[in-house]
Amino acid sequence: MSLTFDQYLGIAGLVVGIVGVAYAVRLDQKLKTAQDAEKKIEKKFMHYLAAQEFEDLAIEASGIMGKIRRREWASVPDLADKMGVSLGMARGARSRLLQSLEKDRLDAAATDIQAFINSLPLEGHEPELAEDQIQMMLSRCRPLVEVASEIAGRLRVESIQQSEGET
Amino acid sequence: MSALSNLLGQQDDPRKIELVRGLIEKTKQGKVTWVKQANALTATLPNGYQVNFVVSPLTLPFLQQNSSWQLLTVRDRSGSELLRVSNTSTLAILAGGEASGVPLTAAANELFKAASDTIRDDLDRAIDTIKKL
């Protein structure tokens, strides 16, 4: 049995078609792998950025506590306002990465920080502050230092674990 | 925010109070296991429900009774918030004379006390065990 030219052409077309489909499948797999890798890097970067934000928050809060202890009042109100904004931004932006208890502790810390900001004396009235009022201010800042540094630590470890998982 | 709701003349959803009452009852029966964590008391219930108390860092002599916890939340498995009670003492005082006058806050106070008691019981058991060594 001999094949006609048209039949040869049909078989060649079929072979080319199969090769084309196989190539497309391979390309699709490569694209998926690249997309997975991109997602992993994105996730790792998100964790890293979030860890950095919470670490900065903890450092800001502990810096303010240090200024209160040393009674360096001049820059405290501005720093406290800035910290309140940073806390709200971090809480909102990183909500997806936070565990339920961390969210609650951050919310409670935010309430404390607001109370702390409201309790700050007006300029020139700082020397009138009693020791227990200063202790109260410190205790209102402390929860933020604790929870922000714990979250930063957890996110940093998770970011490192993601890198180890990839190798 | 229970105290704020009362301040604004809004009533708490009775189902929220029922939920907290249920938790109190089951805690007293020893069916809810509370875990002490940093500044928090937490319990995980069947079907993935999570109950969190954030413990207050403040100790004001005149608000001692109300400053023991700051925030109570109950979430479902997906993380959706079912209940949120803030123990904002100042607001509560403005709203009803004292925090315990707000039904949901009062129920949360009672739950916190029951949960704290179970933690104390665990400590007592540990002390007894060590004594018997």
Say yes or no for a CB contact (<8 Å) between B75 and A147.
Answer: no
- Predicted TM-score (pTM) of this structure: 0.76
Partner residue opposite B73 with nearest CB, options A104, A142, A150: A104
Place of tokens 């049995």: A1
What separation in angstroms does the CA of B2 have from each of A142, B6, B75, B86? Answer: 25, 6, 17, 7
Could you read off the pLDDT of A71-98 as tens digits, one per residue? 898 899 999 999 999 999 999 999 999 9
Q: Among candidates A96, A88, A101, which has minimal Cα distance to A147?
A: A101
Could you read off the pLDDT of A6-35 as tens digits, one per residue? 889 999 999 999 999 999 999 999 999 999
Give the DSSP letter of residue A161. H
In this structure, the number of other CB atoms found within 10 A of the CB of residue A149 comes to: 17
Write out the H or E segment, with its range, that includes residue B74: strand B69-75
Q: Among candidates B74, B110, B95, B77, which has minimal Cα distance to B2?
A: B95
Partner residue opposite A107 with nearest CB, options B37, B57, B71: B71
Residue B91 · residue B4 · CB < 8 Å: yes
**Residues paired with residue B10 on neighbouring β-strands, in sequence order:** none
Place of tokens 């509370």: B34
ipTM: 0.73
Residues in chain A within 8 Å Cβ distance of B50: 100-101
C-alpha torsion angle, residues B39, A97, B111, B68 (rounded to 10): 30
Which one of B63, B68, B70 makes the best mutation probe of the A interface by having the most chain A beta carbons within 10 Å? Answer: B70
What separation in angstroms does the CA of A6 have from each of A2, A12, A13? Answer: 12, 10, 10
Contacts of B25 (CB under 8 A, 6+ apart): none
Higher per-residue confidence, B99 vs B132? B132
| Most confident among A83-92, B4-13, B91-100 (mean pLDDT) | A83-92
pLDDT value of position A160: 85
Write out the H or E segment, with its range, that includes residue B41: strand B40-44
CA quadruple B73, B74, B78, B81: dihedral positive or negative?
A: negative
List the structure tokens of B111: 């739950």
Q: Which of A27-36, B85-94, B121-130 has the lowest mean pLDDT?
A: B85-94
